[in-house]
Amino acid sequence: MRTLDPKIFFSAEESAKISNAIEQAEKRSSGEIRVHLQKKSKGDAFEAAKRIFEKIGMTKTAERNGVLFFISLQDKQFVLLGDKGIDEKVPANFWQSVKDLVLEKFKEEKYVEALVAGIEECGKKLADHFPYQKNDQDELSNEVTYS
């Protein structure tokens, strides 16, 4: 079984794989994707994810097109949050469909594979609605964050 310490939940190699998937997705879109691991949510995981979203600057992208993959380890919660720019454009069932895809692989403990697949799906949608701009900036780091 994996440790539930967010700092070492993923090996360096696994973290690099995740960051790389984010980097690839962001090469096609102005959107910003992040992955955050939290040890435990105080109260509702969705509310905890919203607080992190704000705290790590995800509401500050120019086009409000940040997408957060939030995992709360001890309480085994996964939340997928898209900022309002992207949320307005995707079909109503989009987030749930990505969430289902990720959770299916989580059940098999394929955490990296799950996130990479989810990131790719979100990357495609972001590319459709927020195509990459020549002067694109990496507004938010692609590294996995922790709390």
Residues that bind Ca ion in the complex, under the rule CB under 5 A: 32, 136, 138, 140, 142
Minimum distance of Ca ion from residue 75's CB (angstroms): 27
- Whichever of 32 and 111 has its CB closer to Ca ion, that residue is 32
Nearest to Ca ion of 32, 121 (CB atom): 32
Smallest distance from Ca ion to CB 61, Å: 8
Minimum CB–partner distance for residue 26 and Ca ion (Å):
5
Least distance CB 143 / Ca ion (angstroms): 9
Query: If you search the block for the tokens 């955490």, which residue do you land on?
Result: 111
Q: Are 78 and 70 in contact (CB under 8 A)?
A: yes
Q: Which is nearer to Ca ion, 45 or 90 (CB)?
A: 90
Residue 41 or 142: the one with the smaller Cβ distance to Ca ion is: 142
